[in-house]
Structure 1
């Protein structure tokens, strides 16, 4: 089945009413025994966000806005894949596939679709088990298999060569596309490239490298989510699919920790934007299926990163290292694994969700990277 069919979100009033009732009937715990976010999102913060979600958030406005985005579904490897596809009016536009990660969704890219489509044919698929893609019923949807599926998707759309861009899971998936099908990629744009600290630099690290290594160590304090999702995704999945309050707390904790927000999440993302992303988990019921990608691929990705450079990526690569991202490899660390770096940039602002947080900076990075990747390609 290679048919590509248009897709439009149509959520019934009953489902919205059910969500609001679940939020209003949440059984809340007592406050944490320490102030701040150290034990997790504060009760007052989550309770107020859930109140807004139930009483003031307008899904119909989001639904109407997203109706303007060309959305489609196709079946690849027996699984229905949902994706956004915005064709550029430019005859020389470059095909660009952008891949999100957890706990994000395609909604991260909404603000950059217009600016990027002035230069690129933009494709944004929802990962298997995320958003409005199907939920895998069995094992095997690893980052490698997703990379092959994305290559097939671009073939169906008529794109022979393309740039693969990504962050979080999208970094690993884009890297696998370059590794498995170097004949198909113009190059990669990674935010960031996954490359461990070089042991050879341990006694001669720059201040930035020292800070990056320290951040890797301190980040382990908040790694409980990845251990749970990579070992027992079904256990946490019951709550993520049943309780919108748990889904909110589980995901918003990471947005607060991983954005460049100086502790104030709503200084970079509005409540509506945060809930738009939550709705891409709640409405299709993908809290458990999204977590299972960790069970499929987290150990293999971590072994490559923490065990040293186990593979070499030779396709042209561009890297954007945002200041609140983690990891933040230095160029000399990255060059051990990515042997053909054509573009390297360290923007002044932004974190893990750069397209969502800083859409103008993100757009500029993608455009600059594409120019570097195509600099030695003869014009037709």
Structure 2
């Protein structure tokens, strides 16, 4: 089917057994390096930890079970902007439910929201697309991709599904895309809910910060002190993709490193997020060969990392406000929802706290719908 087709076609995940056999064989034949001197994670993912999770992936993890779970959600493909776009579309039993499109982050996939969907469908028609280059969506064709271009695809998708009034939500990469949807379609978007990220100071703001705000900023510095993946993937994405694409353990190590850094408490990734959910995400990356293509948001950027600013076209709510600073967020956003103490120990809150995340999404859209 041509990527230019605007038909909405049903889609199912159907993994060839040969691909799973190849994965298991590669895991069994891993050439393990020596552990470098240093404590804990000071040199990166420890060999012992990675070996243990690799053994579980090869011997106990059941992809077929996860594949069946994911196929329990209605999935589709359609062509927009020359791209095949994969998406989940789970309708509520409520006729008057608000349509809601959710955008996952990096290095994640639509799996990020799988635990959340059943918690939202009492109140929302849920749409979860795979960002181009991730999972089963086609990789971007050519250069020039940014969050605004993805947002225009999302607008076209929601209109193609017949929705003329809807909400948007996202975190991480989704916190950049979701506000752009509102900018592109303000007449139809009722509100933007993001996990976090707006309201962080820029260089010019630093001299005017209060002592309390400086303390908040210091908390962010402790969390964000890790591998600069934005710089790394701007510099040589093709070079790094060879290892991730050829070795499932190399790919798993990279994902685990980032999931560890994206935690706020120092806990191991599988102490905060369900182990099978982490490995479902990793397996999806492996089976779709998207470790490189999913990095476009970094290698297409032309400058240093910058936090999302948001938008002022429609109301905005966040799951976690602090350590961001509300008065700074309000320069670019119409904030109507800024909780001070929602639970969470991880950047990918939908995977860690699906109940709390769903409750907060409902609370925000109850104010704006």
TM-score range, shorter chain: over 0.9
Corresponding position of 2:339: 345
Corresponding position of 1:46: 50
Residues 10-47 of structure 1: per-residue CA shift (max 9 Å, x gap): 10111001001111111111112111112211110111
Residue 277 (structure 1) aligned with residue 278 (structure 2): no
Deviates more, 1:223-232 or 1:356-365: 223-232
Corresponding position of 1:331: 326
Matching of residues 178-189 of structure 1 within 5 Å: 178-189=182-193
Q: 1:229 offset after TM fit, Å?
A: 1.2
- Structure 2 residue matching 1:283: 3-state secondary structure: helix
TM-score, normalisation: structure 2: 0.92
Matching of residues 263-274 of structure 1 within 5 Å: 263-274=267-278
Corresponding position of 2:315: 316
Residue 232 (structure 1) aligned with residue 201 (structure 2): no
Looking at structure 2, the residues matched to 253 and 188 of structure 1 have their Cα atoms a distance apart, in angstroms, of 30
CA contact (8 A) 2:224 2:261 kept: no
The 3 A distance-change label for structure 1 pair 191 and 147 is same
CA contact (8 A) 1:81 1:125 kept: yes
Looking at structure 2, the residues matched to 200 and 293 of structure 1 have their Cα atoms a distance apart, in angstroms, of 26
Matching of residues 28-47 of structure 1 within 5 Å: 28-47=32-51
Residue 92 (structure 1) aligned with residue 96 (structure 2): yes
Corresponding position of 1:247: 251
Structure 2 gaps, min length 5: none
Corresponding position of 1:365: 360
CA contact (8 A) 2:223 2:261 kept: no
Looking at structure 1, the residues matched to 236 and 258 of structure 2 have their Cα atoms a distance apart, in angstroms, of 19
Matching of residues 121-160 of structure 1 within 5 Å: 121-160=125-164
CA contact (8 A) 1:239 1:246 kept: yes
Matching of residues 212-231 of structure 1 within 5 Å: 212-218=216-222, 221-231=225-235
Q: 1:233 offset after TM fit, Å?
A: 1.1
Residue 116 (structure 1) aligned with residue 133 (structure 2): no
Equivalent residue for 1:291, pick from 263, 273, 295: 295
CA contact (8 A) 1:261 1:268 kept: no
Deviates more, 1:291-300 or 1:243-252: 291-300
- Structure 2 residue matching 1:81: 3-state secondary structure: strand
Cα RMSD (Å):
2.0
Q: 1:297 offset after TM fit, Å?
A: 3.6
Looking at structure 2, the residues matched to 240 and 354 of structure 1 have their Cα atoms a distance apart, in angstroms, of 25
CA contact (8 A) 2:272 2:346 kept: no
TM-score, normalisation: structure 1: 0.90
Looking at structure 1, the residues matched to 215 and 314 of structure 2 have their Cα atoms a distance apart, in angstroms, of 29
Structure 1 gaps, min length 5: 375-380
Residues 345-376 of structure 1: per-residue CA shift (max 9 Å, x gap): 130324211110001100111000101122xx
Looking at structure 2, the residues matched to 217 and 108 of structure 1 have their Cα atoms a distance apart, in angstroms, of 25
Q: 1:256 offset after TM fit, Å?
A: 1.6
- Structure 2 residue matching 1:223: 3-state secondary structure: coil
The 3 A distance-change label for structure 1 pair 163 and 233 is same
CA contact (8 A) 1:84 1:123 kept: yes
Looking at structure 1, the residues matched to 319 and 74 of structure 2 have their Cα atoms a distance apart, in angstroms, of 28
Looking at structure 2, the residues matched to 43 and 167 of structure 1 have their Cα atoms a distance apart, in angstroms, of 30
